[in-house]
Chain A
Amino acid sequence: MSDMNSKPVPTMAEMSAAGKSPEILFWVGCAGSFDDRYKNVTQAFVSILNKVNISFAVLGPEESCTGDPARRAGNEFLFQMQAVSNIQVLNGYNVKKIVTACPHCFNTIKNEYPALGGEYEVIHHSTFLQQLIDDGKVVLKGGGEFKGKKITYHDSCFLGRANNIYEAPRKVLEALDAELIEMKRCRTRGFCCGAGGAQMFKDAEKGNKEVNIDRTEEALETGASTVAVACPFCMTMMSDGVKNKEKENEVKVLDLAELIARDL
């Protein structure tokens, strides 16, 4: 726990009441708050923040959906209602710097909130973790759990093509001393997990295959024992894919934060 922080997970409201302002706001996101699997990622990231003594806070009960799925499904009204009220909360706390583990929240707050009066420095946790590693703040124990193990990284569309973040997640994986094996379709040609554009919230249209199965097959072909992801939706889709292929005992789908937290 940070000396700055009175609790492992302080809220902005508590900080503000105590007259303190944290260095960063950790935007948890709906998946990070409600999804049983992704809550583990949220907790892992918080443990890293506390370990390296970074002063942070979350909005806690004051956080609300960024509006991304509504906007991508066409409901601009609902998106803007969410965005404008979130911006009121963020500006009310005079937030300057936001870190989030969700590429969809990241993209929306970074690129789409400025048009509505919300201007912040927004960092995805992959970039943030890379900076911690580069600055020597996160030092992984040599010969950790993943040393020499085969890991493949699945690019999130909203990090990669949408925001040109391809290298930060890979740098984080390099720090694990693992053997990074790329899928054939990676970086700019990375194949979607199938959940973006609000697909997460409905069944797929008629086709001959599910997108996540196609991608999971490609990930399994690498022979990696870990599929690293950096997005809650990718996490769900790839985990479901691995289960569908009955490989959940041999192959784990893990977020970058979980990989780092394990070896810290």
Chain B
Amino acid sequence: MIYIQQIAFVLVLVIAAWFLIRRIKHIRASIRLGKDADLSDNSSERWKTMLLVAFGQKKMFKRIIPAFLHLLIYVGFIVINIEVLEFVLDGLSGNHRLFAPFLGDVYPVLMNLFEFLAVAVLFSCVIFLIRRNILRVPRFTSREMTSWPKLDANLILVIEILLMFAILTMNAADQLLQVRDPEHYTATGHLFFSGLLMPFLDGMSDSGLVIMERTMWWFHIVGILGFAVYITYSKHLHIFMAFPNTYYSNLIPKGQMKNMDVVTNEVNMMLGIQSEAPSQNPEEIGRFGARDVNDLTWKHIMGAFACTECGRCTAECPANQTGKLLSPRKIMMDTRDRAEEVQKSISSGGKGLDDGKSLLGDYITKEELFACTSCNACVEACPVNINPLEIILEMRRYVAMEESGTPASWNAMFQNIETNFAPWKFPTTDRFKWADKLNQESE
């Protein structure tokens, strides 16, 4: 009987691992659709940023209520995983509460801590469900939050509630069995929170309790493994991607746009300037700017996978807040959807990038791109340092340089700069007129 459980457990682990590895490969390949970008510099600064922003949740605390509730779930997730380790070892070895004899008096303390965190997670998830579905916090209901993103968010919260409930019920049944069958059930000492559930189970028969305890154990561990696979399809992937994404944060000032060196070569040629490094490597000039995900860098796509659709970016975006179509969150969601679509097609031998679709046009419209004021509010707001602005500006580069598709007023501005060296239509001879009065007065 025990062996059957162990074999079943190993089988479950192997199946979960198979699915997980397949998904991880898919996500990795999706990210690598992007162009190369060297972000290997400055590792100490990068570690620091990751520790502060991802591990330390620094940017979450701009909004104190969700930050606190999120912190409870975050700490709960990290700490309860220690218990999951015991679950896995128990499952493999056919033991029950493997750690209890080794930890002695510490074990009940730990168990009580886990239970406290389980209750805290439960509490936070319930409040989050209320915020999403009853209070309807605006950033959770805006346009791009269509049926799947909304369902995804609610599923995550419900699954977490069920998982925590399973731990507590299991411990309640377990505590009752410790009294009835002390030989097989290692004493844990009194566990406060699951103790509150004991009266509800007290009327059950011994075998009923055994089944209840086992069911909850299996539900919890299968649930966690299933959830791990689910996460790879979900916005919840941020629990892993936040770490590499913050490690590879932009370390330059937010106002700085990266130089296009291909353009510099051409400009220098046009102006007759010898470039320091003569084109020893006449690398193929690709597309200017970004039309599809492969024109973005891997870092941009990584950002899309790190996005948990919290909408802080969109809630701070001046264009979005004044009713324009642009939503920085949608830029990230579209980028992920397109990257996954292309990669899925490639993996199944399909047309991939040549499927007749592209990020620009089929997902993101020019109207959205043109509405951006490049104010960096979205970049500042993101709790995991995602940069939607860079994607917007890369796509504007494509529109301007490959399509000449910029609005007429911008084209007029370009022409003014070309002919008058100012964005307005003033003659260059007027440029210094502001000083005339001052200089005349002194004469």
Contacts and interface: CB of A to CB of B under 8 A. Distances in A.
Contacts of B396: 72-74
Contacts of A211: 318-319, 322, 373
Contacts of A75: 400-401, 406, 414
Given A77-B263, A197-B373, A43 B421 contact: no
B441 A8 contact: yes
Interface stretch (B72-80, B249-257, B334-342): B249-257
A63 B433 CA distance: 13
Nearest to B422: A30
Interface in A1-20: 1, 7-9, 11
B413 A74 contact: no
Q: Which of B270, B430, B435 has the most chain A CB atoms inside 10 A of its CB?
A: B435
Contacts of B326: 205
A70 interface: yes
Interface stretch (A128-136, A159-167, A253-261): A159-167
B123 to A, nearest CB: 29
B367 interface: yes
Contacts of A121: none
Contacts of B441: 8
A194 B253 contact: no
A76 interface: yes
B273 to A, nearest CB: 7
Interface stretch (B156-164, B183-191, B376-384): B376-384
B417 interface: yes
Contacts of B417: 65, 67, 69-70, 78, 82
A48 interface: no
Contacts of A188: 62, 380
A137 interface: no
Contacts of B424: 30, 34-35
Size class of A's contact patch?
35 or more
Contacts of B253: 107, 111, 162-164
Contact of B432 (A61, A189, A194): A61
Contacts of A201: 409-410, 412-413, 423
B254 A77 contact: no
Interface string B424-442: 1010111111110111011
B423 A74 contact: no
Interface in A199-228: 199-211, 214-215
B370 A65 contact: no
Interface string A172-202: 0000000000000000110110111111111
Contacts of A82: 417, 421
Interface string A91-129: 000000000000000010001100110000000000000
Contacts of B400: 73-76
Nearest to B264: A80
Contacts of B289: 74, 76
A72 to B, nearest CB: 5
A85 interface: yes
B398 A69 contact: no
A34 B422 contact: yes
A8 B438 contact: yes
B374 A72 contact: yes
Contacts of B321: 191, 214
A55 interface: no
A157 B267 contact: no
B375 A196 contact: yes
Interface string B312-325: 00001011011111
Interface of B: 62, 252-257, 259-260, 263-264, 266-268, 270-271, 273, 288-289, 316, 318-319, 321-326, 367, 370-377, 379-380, 393, 396-401, 406-407, 409-410, 412-414, 417-418, 421-424, 426, 428-435, 437-439, 441-442
15 contacts: A33-B431, A34-B430, A60-B431, A61-B432, A64-B421, A70-B413, A72-B396, A80-B263, A80-B264, A162-B253, A188-B62, A198-B413, A203-B409, A204-B371, A205-B325
Interface of A: 1, 7-9, 11, 28, 30, 32-35, 39, 42-43, 46, 58, 60-61, 63-65, 67, 69-78, 80-82, 84-85, 107, 111-112, 115-116, 157-158, 161-164, 188-189, 191-192, 194-211, 214-215
Given A32-B434, A211-B322, 14 more contacts: A7-B442, A34-B422, A65-B417, A65-B422, A73-B400, A74-B399, A112-B256, A162-B255, A162-B256, A163-B254, A192-B377, A197-B373, A211-B318, A215-B318
